[in-house]
Amino acid sequence: MDFDSDGVRLHYEVNGAERGTPIVLVHGFASDYRLNWVGTRWQETLSNSGFKVIGLDCRGHGHSDKPHDEAAYAVDVMAGDVVRLLDHLDMQTAAYLGYSMGGRIGLEVVLEHPDRITRAVLGGVGAAGSIDRAEQIARAFRTGEPTDDPVAQTFYRFASARPDNDLIALAACISGLRPERRPERLARIRTPILIVVGDRDDIAGGAPELIELIPSARLVTIAGRDHMSAVPAREFKQAALDFLTAEA
């Protein structure tokens, strides 16, 4: 299904219990809803636990429109996509699950629209708030050549392996999404937040520092997992379910 988000056509899916607790799932950079959340059995896990699962393909990704303008990917714009999706579905509130880019978007939603998210699980995010070396990643995508930077190489291989990806749109996204590093904003957050990272994640650095900045957040670290392998981890799913179903 598609909807119009301020002039950009975005694709979404709704699965699981019709009357279940709604939860919005937002994927990582260069991924999409099905790759990030269906193939890794998150949709199945949440649906079987009674949730109504709302999966979004972010702008520039999956089956959604892919603008080439960096301004189209500002973090507040992408956070607005989540809120407009809730509006489209006539949902006042929902829980939230985001990974990497989806985690950073989730932070912005909680900051700017605190009345819309009941609690949030944010995986693969750290104090930096964005993927380091965005310039190198964007350059690799625009030139079609991986750089010597190992992080840029990782994302280039990941993105270029999928023929439906528009590498120019993804370059605009990684360049345009950069959030302001204003830690004092995070001190305002009161929404319950669970941060989850792998203990070998070199991309989302500074998760313990992020926890110190957000009064309502706590951290779970997954042993033996890096940025790319943390999503399917059973420990991640269990920690998220325990958090999402806890008494308020």
Q: What average pLDDT score do residues 41-54 get?
A: 98
Q: CATH class for domain 2-130+177-244?
A: alpha beta
φ and ψ of 155, to 5 deg: -70, -35
Mean pLDDT of 19-32: 97
**pLDDT value at 129 more than 60:** no
Residue 35 is given by DSSP the state I
Distance CA 201, CA 199 (A): 6
Q: What is the pLDDT of residue 132?
A: 59
- What mean pLDDT value characterizes the chain? 93
Question: Is residue 128's pLDDT more than 70?
Answer: no
Domain ranges (residues) in the chain: 2-130+177-244
Q: Which of 80-94, 109-123, 141-155 has the lowest mean pLDDT?
A: 141-155
Query: Which tokens in the block code for residue 233?
Result: 């981890």
First to last CA, the chain: 32
Output the pLDDT for position 101: 95
Q: Which residues contact 180 (CB under 8 A, 6 or more apart)?
A: none
For residue 99, the cross-strand partners are 123
Tally of CB atoms within 10 A around 137: 28
Q: Determine the residue type at 214.
A: I
- Residue 184 is predicted with a pLDDT of 87
Reported confidence tier of residue 195, pLDDT bands at 50, 70, 90: very high
pLDDT tens readout for residues 168-183: 999 999 999 876 667 8
Task: Judge whether residue 130 has pLDDT over 60.
Answer: no
Q: Tell me, what amino acid is at 6?
A: D
Is the predicted pLDDT of residue 121 greater than 70, yes or no? yes
Task: State both tokens at 173.
Answer: 């996204």
